[in-house]
Each structure stands twice: as C-alpha cells, then as structure tokens.
Amino acid sequence: MYKFRELAKAAKKETEGKEYRLAVLGNVATQFLSQAIGGYAHLSGMNLKVFDADYNQIDAQLLDPSSETYEFEPDYILLYLATDKLYEEFMERDASARGTFADDIMRKLSDYWDMISRSSKAKILHMGFTEIDDRAFGNFGARTETAFTYQMRKLGFLLQEAESARAGVYPVDLLAVQISLGMDKFYDPVLYYNAKVNIALDAMGYVAKQVIDVLSAMQGHARKCVVLDLDNTLWGGVIGDDGLSGIEIGELGRGHVFTDFQLWLRSLKQRGILLAVCSKNDEDNAKEPFEKHEEMVLRLSDFAMFVANWEDKATNIRFIQKTLNIGMDSLVFIDDNPFERELVRSMIPEICVPELPSDPARYLSFLQGLNLFETASYSSEDADRTGMYQAEAKRRESEASFTSLDDYLISLEMKGCAAAFDKLHYPRIAQLTQRSNQFNLRTVRYTEEEIERVASDDSYVTLYYTLRDKFGDHGLVSVVIMKKESDEEFFIDTWLMSCRVLKRGMEEYIINRLVEEAGTHGAKKLRAEYIPTAKNKMVEHIYDAMGFDCIGEGLYSLDIRKFKELKTYIKDAAV
Amino acid sequence: MEREEVMEKVTEIARDIFDDEELELNDDTIAADVDGWDSLTHLSLMNEIENEFEIKFEMKEVQGLNNVGELIDVIMERMD
C-alpha cells in the first residue's frame, strides 16, 4: 500500500481525463483523508478534484444552499461521521437517553441526505462506522441497550437499511478496513488528540482505496468475467493424470479448500459475474468432473464459456473476450501456474491477473481481500447474465447454418418493445447509463434518483427497449432520453445500447420507435450528438447510418416529417 | 546509532516530505525556517520518523519540541 507521504505528493499532481469533483465533510479533521483520496485517485488515473470542508462543519455546510460545499459543485459528497467523535457525544448524554442513540443519529443522517438532495445533484458516499469497544459493560454490552457497543452495532444496521431503501447513497465500508488492519494499526490516539484525526496515517492508503474503489464502480468501471484455470485451481490435482476419483474436491482434506473456492465463484456468478474456463486439457477430460463428479459445486451450466485445448492461454483469453464482447479490462484471470500468469500478463497488459498465493488454502482470503468485484448497482437482470450469454452462443451456432444474414435474422423471430421509464425498471436503466461505454452516444451517467426525476419531468421523453427472440430474452437492452428544447425540437440526450444485441436490426428498430414517439409528443425536428470517448468509437457514425443529417462535428439533426421508416426484422411485441 | 546518522536520516525524510532536495537541517533549525513545514506536514514528518526508527512519540513531544536538536534528542533517547 502507498505511504501517506506518497499520497500527499500525488495529490498535488494533475491527472488527465474527465474531471470528477468530491467534497469531503466530517465530524473530525479530514484534511489528511482528503489528501489521501486525491493522491490515490491520481495514482489510479482518476482525475478527481477534492474539496475538504473545515472541521466539524457538516450541518452548516449542508444547510446553507450557498455554502462552499455546494459552490464547489461536487459530483460526490463523502460524509464521514467518525465513531470516536460519536462516542464522546454518547458519553455526554444522560444515561437515560443512551438507549435511543442509534435512532437519533440515523435520523440526523437521513436529514443530511435530504439536505444534499435539496441543494445539489451530488451522489452521496457514506462512510460506515468503525467500532470502539469501551468495555464499560464488558461482554455484557452486547445485550445492554444503553451500552455504546450495542448502539453502534445497531446504528450500523440502521444505516444499511436506510441505504438500501434510498437511491443515490453509496456505502463505503470503513469497518472492513478497520477489521482487516486491526484496531492498533487503524487508530493512533496521539494523532487523534493532537489533530482530531481518527485514522492513523499508515491506514490512510487503505481507506482511500476503499473510497476510490466505490467511485470507480460508480463511474462505470466493473469487472465482468472471471477466467479460470482448472487443475490445481478449481480442484486439487491434475484431471488428466489423477482421474475423476483422484482429484481433490469435497469435504475431505484439501478438497474443502476447493469446494469453498467454487462456492464463492458460484456466488459471483449468481450476482452477475460471468465465469469462463480456460484450460490446457483435452476438452472431454476437462468437462468430465463437471458432468460426473458428485461433489463438484460448479456445473457446466455455470460457465458462459468453456475453452479447453492446447493453444496458448493468451490466444484463448482473446477468443473468450471477443466472443463475450466485453472489455479486456473487465476480465480477471485466475491460474495457479506462475508461468501462465506471466505469459498472459505480458501478452495482454489490460487484463487483471492476481498473483495467487502458492497454497490453495489461501486462494479465497487472498482474492476476497483484493476487492475485485466492486459494483454501484445490482438488479435482478444481473442474476441471469450467464443464461443470456449462453443463449447468445446458441444464436451464433444457428447463425453459422444460414447463408444470408437476412435469412438468419428472420429465423430469430425477434420481438421488440419500447416503453416510457417506469419504477420497476429505474435500477436497470440507471445501471445501464453507468456501465455502458461502447454503444453510448454521449455517455451521460445517471443515478436511480436522477432517472426517477427525468421520468417524471414533462420536459423529457423517455424510452427503454427490450428484445427477445426464439432463443431467449435479452431483457432491457437500450435506453433513450430526449429533452424537449422547444415544442417542436427534441434533443437526444442519451442513447445507449447493450452490445449484446448489436447489428441485428435493433438500432433501426430503436430509431423507428424513437421518431414515432417524438412525433406523438409533437416534435418536428430531432437534434442529436456524438461525444467521443476512449471507448465509444463504434458508434461514431451511427447517426449517419440511421439517416440523420450531419450539421457539424458530432452534431446531427433529423426532420421527422421527411423520415422514412428504417428496415428491420424486429416486430413489435405487446408491452 | 550515532547522532549524526540520525540527523542524516531525518534530513532525508524531511527532504522528501518538504520536496526540497537541498534541504539541510541542524540542531537549531525550527519549523519556520523550512518552506512547507506547517502543522499538517509536521504530523506526516513525525509519522515517517516513527516508522523509520520504530519508535512512538508522546503527545507532548509531537507538539512541544522547540527545534530539530530536541527532536533528535528524543529519537536517540527512545531508541535506547
């Protein structure tokens, strides 16, 4: 981990790229924390400007709509209520008022959130609570309502509940940092009493990482797929040599290690991370344990792709990445063999290759400690992402049997649907605006809260699109937000689409329905824009292809009265 | 460790923290003599010294030392 002085130096440096602004507010002194976050951002390539509010000014800063915090126009506000300070408040209370401490503080926190929503569009990062055990009641504190431990643990739970019920608030798990470092490393009493800083300087880097991990996920960076070796990674031993009965998996001995590892991987899959196999093996040998071994946790159906052959792994990983059509930087490659790791690292610098410990017993805690799978959202569609990719594989097989693309597209029996944003779909819509990088014309990111606001604002026309075909349901694949600039002229603020459904007539279907919808709302003219980013070159000319007129660099317009419906094989489905 | 060697190491840390490769410290140097030595960088300096010499300062030492000479004295004393 970086030393504090390295972070402090890095904080002074300029960073390229899109600028994000973070305001830090605490009930303790936060200058060091702000420096550390700024420095960590620079070292991770994030252009983050940090504003540090004065000591213990949260109420004043948030109440006054013209405060420095709001003037700074932050994209994010980090709220940090240190347990050490809360502890002092707690002790100053009458003993009789201590039993409601957690509820009182929680009420104050939601007031803060309300104040922020009133005066700012900033998303809220809320630092979780660390623990202090004052041992005033000893172990008995855990069942004594007026004990600090009891109240703080309750507060932690209340905070979780409140966060999950409210869009636009993102937790930063400070307790996890305190636990992994230990009390003594996390807290330096001399620093606290000297400067009201309750995080030791040596711990600042770890805390800053936690904040930057969350910000990075909110900005759309997410790992999407774990590529796995088999022998001595998913089970002990070598299937080709040891055979089905010889490999280690299951309750006995070292098998337990691999069983737990597979259980963890399966829970990643259940939350939307794709699993793929990349193994140097004969395919039949490699598949046998998943089909026949009774104690295997993962089954073939858990994998989005299964590649077992004797090619080099870099080539196979490129094939997996291309087939799944996701960014190379969203892949994690896990292999016990240092040679393979080094080869893949050197051939594909963008991919994440954890330096796995040599003892399999340590795989799990090591990988969990890296926090590789940060996310800023979770929707029910995530759960079945593997199924969607598997249906895609079947489509590809079927595609190969047709000689003309038209015949193939007709055979898919595609049904599309367009509808205005509704409450049920806010999370998925927000998630797509945050995650889509390639097919995204202006890359405007929205939180759930903002999506809700846009949906209920008459000056916007919103559409989400779904698509299904005979192989399966693609779910919600595209989002359009149009802003009424006048009664007759609408501007396409957002158009994004999942790359899963590229080039099968969905683009045309979207534009047809978009123009129709704009027409129904009285528009005669549409304006549109393409804003280039490092990742969206694929849609550079999409508006040209859709029949819009180019009226300047990246600027387009369309006369709705002259628009001729674009050809597509996607038919309307009932909503 | 000799006093001179301690002074040398402290100087090295201070050069890094105050971003001045030519910074020289002696027993009489005070914070006001050094560009960028304020209450915040002071805490960072003390932290680095603690790590380097594997010692812990007491609260009154972090705030109450009058010059670099006194700082070196405390480090020497703590290392014994």
Looking up residue B13, the CATH number of its domain turns out to be 1.10.1200.10
How many angstroms separate the CA atoms of A269 and A373, rounded?
11
**A559: Cβ–Cβ under 8 A, 6 or more apart, which residues?**
A524, A525, A549
**A417: Cβ–Cβ under 8 A, 6 or more apart, which residues?**
A465, A466, A467, A572, A573, A574, A575
Q: Is the dihedral of CA A236, A242, A245, A246 positive or negative?
A: negative
Can you spell out the DSSP letters for B15-61?
A: HHHTT-TT----TT--GGGSTT--HHHHHHHHHHHHHHHT----HHH
In a domain, A390, yes or no: no
Same domain? For A325 and A466 the reply is no
How many angstroms separate the CA atoms of A566 and B33, rounded?
75
- How far does chain A reach from its first CA to its final CA, in angstroms? 52
Structural domain boundaries, residue A337: 225-369
In a domain, A393, yes or no: no
ipTM of this complex:
0.93
Tally C-beta pairs within 8 A across A and B. Answer: 35
Smallest CA-to-CA distance from A57 within A33, A89, A79, A87 is with A79
In a domain, A453, yes or no: yes
Q: Which of A162, A196, A218 is the last residue before a domain boundary? A: A218
Cβ-based burial of A14 (10 A; exposed 0-12, middle 13-18, buried ≥19): exposed
Question: A7 with A205: CB under 8 angstroms?
Answer: yes
Question: Structure tokens of A558?
Answer: 């369309």
Same domain? For A521 and A417 the reply is yes
Same domain? For A126 and A92 the reply is yes
Question: A215 with A45: CB under 8 angstroms?
Answer: no
Cβ-based burial of A353 (10 A; exposed 0-12, middle 13-18, buried ≥19): buried
Looking up residue A508, the CATH number of its domain turns out to be 3.40.630.30
Question: Structure tokens of A452?
Answer: 């809700």
Instruction: Name which of B39, B44, B58 is nearest A8 (Cβ-Cβ).
Output: B44
Q: Which of A313, A348, A369 is the last residue before a domain boundary? A: A369
Yes or no, beta carbons of B47 and A195 under 8 Å apart: no
Coil, helix or strand for A51?
Answer: strand
Question: Given this model, what pLDDT does residue B44 score?
Answer: 95
Same domain? For A193 and A135 the reply is yes
Q: Which of A193, A218, A243 is the last residue before a domain boundary? A: A218
Same domain? For A264 and A205 the reply is no
Q: Print pLDDT tens along chain A (575 aa).
A: 999 999 999 999 999 999 999 999 999 999 999 999 999 999 999 999 999 999 999 999 999 999 999 999 999 999 999 999 999 999 999 999 999 999 999 999 999 999 999 999 999 999 999 999 899 999 999 999 999 999 999 999 999 999 999 888 999 999 999 999 999 999 999 999 999 999 999 999 999 999 999 999 998 889 999 999 999 999 999 999 999 999 999 988 899 999 999 999 999 999 999 999 999 999 999 999 999 999 999 999 999 999 999 999 999 999 999 988 889 999 999 999 999 999 999 999 999 999 999 999 999 999 999 999 999 888 777 777 888 888 877 888 788 788 888 888 999 999 999 999 999 899 899 989 988 999 999 999 998 889 999 999 999 999 999 999 988 888 899 999 999 999 899 999 999 999 888 889 999 999 999 999 999 999 999 999 999 998 899 999 999 999 999 999 999 999 999 999 999 999 998 65
Same domain? For A460 and A321 the reply is no
In a domain, A400, yes or no: no
How many angstroms separate the CA atoms of A511 and A408, rounded?
22
Question: Given this model, what pLDDT does residue A449 score?
Answer: 87
Question: B69 with B27: CB under 8 angstroms?
Answer: yes
Smallest CA-to-CA distance from A208 within A393, A48, A394 is with A48
Structural domain boundaries, residue B23: 3-79
How many structural domains does chain B have?
1
Of A54, A192, A194, A202, which to mutate for an interface test with B (greatest number of B Cβ within 10 Å)?
A194
Same domain? For A42 and A180 the reply is yes
A182 φ/ψ sector (left φ>0, alpha ψ -120 to 50, else beta)? left
State the pLDDT confidence band at B1, using cuts at 50, 70 and 90.
confident
Of A1, A3, A4, A5, which to mutate for an interface test with B (greatest number of B Cβ within 10 Å)?
A5
Partners of A4 on chain B (C-beta within 8 Å) are: 44, 47
In a domain, A388, yes or no: no
Same domain? For A441 and A518 the reply is yes
Same domain? For A145 and A59 the reply is yes
Same domain? For A459 and A558 the reply is yes
In A454-522, DSSP assigns E strands to 460-469, 472-484, 489-497
Question: How many angstroms away from the CA of B58 is the closest CA of chain A?
Answer: 7
How many structural domains does chain A have?
3
In a domain, A424, yes or no: yes
Same domain? For A146 and A239 the reply is no
Instruction: Name which of A31, A194, A202 is nearest B59 (Cβ-Cβ).
Output: A194
Can you spell out the DSSP letters for A389-443?
A: HHHHHHHHHHHHT-SSHHHHHHHT--EEEEE---GGGHHHHHHHHHH--SSBSS-
Buried b (16+ CB within 10 A) or exposed e, A131-169: ebeeeebeeebeebebbbbbbbbbbbebbeebbeeebbb
Question: A511 with A544: CB under 8 angstroms?
Answer: no
Instruction: Name which of B44, B56, B63 is nearest A5 (Cβ-Cβ).
Output: B44
Q: Max Cα separation, chain A?
A: 82
Amino acid found at A226: V
How many angstroms separate the CA atoms of A396 and A405, rounded?
12
How many angstroms separate the CA atoms of A333 and A343, rounded?
11
**pTM for the predicted model, two decimal places:** 0.81
Yes or no, beta carbons of B47 and A8 under 8 Å apart: no
Same domain? For A229 and A195 the reply is no
- Look-up: residue for tokens 């949906």? A455
How many angstroms separate the CA atoms of B25 and A357, rounded?
44
Of B44, B55, B60, B65, which to mutate for an interface test with A (greatest number of A Cβ within 10 Å)?
B44
Coil, helix or strand for A478?
Answer: strand
Cβ-based burial of A254 (10 A; exposed 0-12, middle 13-18, buried ≥19): middle
How many angstroms separate the CA atoms of A26 and A84, rounded?
12
Question: Structure tokens of A130?
Answer: 């660390």
In a domain, A398, yes or no: no
Amino acid found at A303: F
